[in-house]
């Protein structure tokens, strides 16, 4: 019975800053530079905090992430997973969440793809979006769902952008679906396909 808050007004996701809250269990999911968020948070958390926590870290850039990995290992969290890609980490996240009790808080930090796909997984597991916190780190690249063929194109950095699946040139709208973890792409030159606007790099 609370009033809807203004921050929910647009469908576009808004990312914040992670800040641990009272909860029975804490799950951290991060990719690449998102791991640094966990490390900096850890400095102000009690030593035994990670006894009731799980960390899932996606490392797509081993050369640059070694110090982050060392740091995460030093936290002494009994449940630490380090995987090579978001896709590889999601089944692990889902299994963990399925076994949890109410009162679990999930903290996500990293790329838009990680935030979107981990959010989708957590919601499928029955978590409320209020039990999720997100912090954006690293690439601004978007996941875009083509409204025409429904295919999802990863790592979109331009406006407009090509659909990887049907090839239509898509205008990336600021309209975001948490269920699809993607922005909506609509053909930009449907009225006149010979009019091909130039692509601009805006999400990198």
Please spell the DSSP secondary structure of 151-180, one letter per residue.
Answer: -EEEEE-EESEE-TTT--EEEEEEEEETTT
- How far is the CA of 183 from the CAs of 88, 143, 189, in angstroms? 22, 6, 18
Say if residues 105 and 23 touch (Cβ distance below 8 Å): yes
| Smallest gap from residue 74 Cβ to other proteins (A) | 26
CB nearer to other proteins: pick between 62 and 194: 194
Q: How far apart are CA 54 and CA 77, in angstroms?
A: 7
- The CB-of-59 to other proteins minimum distance in angstroms stands at 27
Minimum CB separation of residue 175 from other proteins in Å reads 5
Output the six-digit token pair for 196: 């091909």
CA 138 to chain CA centroid, Å, is 11
Q: CB of residue 89 vs other proteins: minimum separation in angstroms?
A: 19
The residue ranges that bind other proteins (CB under 8 A) are 1-4, 8-12, 21-25, 97-98, 100-105, 125-131, 145, 147-148, 150, 168, 173-180, 184, 186-187, 190-193
Q: Of 68 and 161, which CB lies nearer to other proteins in the complex structure?
A: 161
Q: Assess contact for 38 and 109: CB atoms under 8 A.
A: yes
Residue (71 or 151) nearer to other proteins, CB: 151
Reduced to 3 states, what is the DSSP secondary structure of residue 126?
Answer: coil
The nearest distance, CB 14 to other proteins, in angstroms, is 12
Which residue number, 42 or 146, has a Cβ lying nearer to other proteins?
146
The residue among 33 and 159 lying less far from other proteins, judged by its C-beta, is 159
> Helix, strand or coil for residue 150?
coil
Residue 144: other Cβ atoms inside 10 A: 27
**First vs last C-alpha separation in the chain:** 40
We find the least distance from the C-beta atom of residue 77 to other proteins, in angstroms, to be 18
* Between 72 and 122, CB nearer to other proteins: 122
Instruction: Please list, in sequence order, all residues whose beta carbon lies within 8 angstroms of the beta carbon of residue 67, skipping any fewer than 6 positions away.
Output: none
């Amino acid at each position: 019975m609370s009033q809807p808050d203004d921050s929910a007004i647009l469908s576009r996701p808004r990312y914040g800053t992670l800040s641990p809250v009272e909860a029975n269990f804490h799950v951290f999911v991060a990719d690449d530079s998102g791991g640094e968020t966990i490390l900096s948070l850890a400095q102000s958390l009690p030593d035994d905090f990670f006894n009731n926590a799980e960390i899932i870290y996606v490392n797509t850039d081993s050369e640059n992430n070694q110090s982050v990995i060392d740091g995460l290992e030093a936290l002494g969290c009994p449940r630490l997973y380090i995987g090579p890609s978001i896709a590889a980490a999601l089944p692990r996240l889902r299994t963990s969440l399925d076994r949890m009790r109410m009162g679990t808080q999930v903290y996500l930090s990293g790329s838009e793809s990680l935030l979107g796909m981990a959010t989708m997984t957590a919601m499928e597991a029955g978590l409320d979006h209020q039990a999720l916190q997100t912090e954006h780190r690293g690439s601004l690249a978007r996941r875009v769902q083509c409204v025409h063929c429904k295919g999802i194109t990863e790592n979109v950095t331009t406006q407009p952008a090509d659909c990887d699946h049907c090839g239509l040139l898509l205008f990336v709208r600021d309209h975001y679906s948490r269920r699809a973890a993607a922005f909506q792409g609509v053909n930009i030159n449907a009225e006149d396909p010979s009019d091909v606007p130039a692509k601009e790099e805006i999400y990198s």
